[in-house]
Amino acid sequence: MKAFYIDKPHSACVRETDIPVPGDSEVLIKVMAVGVCGTDAHLYLGDYDNPYPTIPGHEFSGVIEAVGKNVKNFKAGQRVAADPNIYCEACDNCKQNKQNYCLDYKGLGNQVPGAFQQYMTIEQRCVYDIGSLSFTTAALIEPLSCVIHGHDKARPDFGDKVLILGAGPIGLMHLQLCKNDGASVVVVADIKQEQLELASSLGADHAVFNDETAAQRYREISKDGFDLIIDCTGVPKVIENIVPFLANEGRLLFFGVCPADMRINVSPYEIYQRELRFIGSNSLKKTFHAAMRQLQQGKVKTDCLIGDRIELDALPVFLKAFAEKKTKLKTVVYPNGLVD
């Protein structure tokens, strides 16, 4: 079978390897669709302390090909997706339902081989039956699970005014959840006009081009500021500059991933005096099911979030372009040929 490898930073290729054999509690999955994520680009660029060579890819769906001898809940032929966070469910943190800090954590596509290959294995406890959901839509369960995790921590109240920074696939998922949740006004800001048009078509009340005139637009739209601001840019300067636009008692959700060594300049007095709340959101935790249901019910639209649809052989070129921010929307890879 074919697998996509990053051999070392800035060096990737597709080559032949053996089909993996599932362990006793694992399933073997024929991978049908995989979304390309920022994490994959970071691995390509060498931003993480990760062993190489590595097979990235963690937003995927497929069909079960075979199961290990202790697997009871799945059988060959089932259409599935999986939570790529492999928690031990046995350590002290897992026992406190803080699985994101699992002491024996393994991330699919980081510490263990990921989904950019024709067949892969994963622990049965991570696997979910997707029913009739299309493979492409099911590849978006994982990013939506992360969005729901963040949303659960900073959920808008009815009537809240929300500002979302960044109109990529993640920002546009947040937009839809905020609208569904009863926010009165949702503003989306970006520096790409095309993305802003997409935001408007998905229900954004205002789409703001994020240049030097944006501040004035924010004040016109809501002179008292925003109850909830969701950063999906991961750009420290953008976050620093948006704090004055929080309403009193406003919440700022840090969703985009900033570089680890960066700092922002914020007045602690302002946080105290205006009772602001800064909320972090890292990955997902037990929100996979919720995301799957949202997609099955059509509550979150994802078709318009998909950009290029490519086969595995094209991935070395595409991942490089993606890392250079030259691709649009969510690229989906089909390791066993194009499907819905």
Residues that bind Zn ion (CB under 5 A): 37, 88, 91, 94, 102
Q: How far is the CB of 283 from Zn ion (least distance, A)?
A: 9
Q: How far is the CB of 146 from Zn ion (least distance, A)?
A: 7
Nearer to Zn ion, 39 or 176 (CB): 39
Q: How far is the CB of 116 from Zn ion (least distance, A)?
A: 12
Nearer to Zn ion, 39 or 222 (CB): 39
Nearer to Zn ion, 169 or 250 (CB): 169
- Taking the C-alpha atoms of residue 277 and residue 228, their distance in angstroms, rounded to an integer, is 9
State the amino acid at position 147 in one-letter form: V
Nearer to Zn ion, 17 or 100 (CB): 100
Left, alpha or beta for 296 (phi > 0: left; psi -120 to 50: alpha)? alpha
By beta-carbon distance, which residue lies closest to Zn ion?
Answer: 37
Nearer to Zn ion, 161 or 285 (CB): 285
Nearer to Zn ion, 88 or 271 (CB): 88
> What string of H, E and C letters represents the secondary structure of the chain?
CEEEEEEECCEEEEEECCCCCCCCCEEEEEEEEEECCHHHHHHHHCCCCCCCCECCCCEEEEEEEEECCCCCCCCCCCEEEECCEECCCCCHHHHCCCHHHCCCCEEECCCECCCCECEEEEEHHHEEECCCCCHHHHCCHHHHHHHHHHHHHHCCCCCCEEEEECCCHHHHHHHHHHHHCCCCEEEEEECCHHHHHHHHHCCCCEEEECCCCHHHHHHHHCCCCEEEEEECCCCHHHHHHHHHHEEEEEEEEECCCCCCCCCCCCCHHHHHHCCCEEEECCCCCCCHHHHHHHHHCCCCCCHHHEEEEEEHHHHHHHHHHHHCCCCCCEEEEECCCCCC
Q: How far is the CB of 93 from Zn ion (least distance, A)?
A: 6
Nearer to Zn ion, 38 or 236 (CB): 38
Q: How far is the CB of 301 from Zn ion (least distance, A)?
A: 19
Q: How far is the CB of 274 from Zn ion (least distance, A)?
A: 33
- Taking the C-alpha atoms of residue 191 and residue 167, their distance in angstroms, rounded to an integer, is 9
Q: How far is the CB of 123 from Zn ion (least distance, A)?
A: 13
State the amino acid at position 110 in one-letter form: N
Nearer to Zn ion, 88 or 112 (CB): 88
State the amino acid at position 335 in one-letter form: P
Q: How far is the CB of 154 from Zn ion (least distance, A)?
A: 19
Nearer to Zn ion, 43 or 102 (CB): 102
Q: Is the Cβ–Cβ distance between 333 and 36 less than 8 Å?
A: yes
Q: How far is the CB of 230 from Zn ion (least distance, A)?
A: 17
- Taking the C-alpha atoms of residue 22 and residue 69, their distance in angstroms, rounded to an integer, is 9
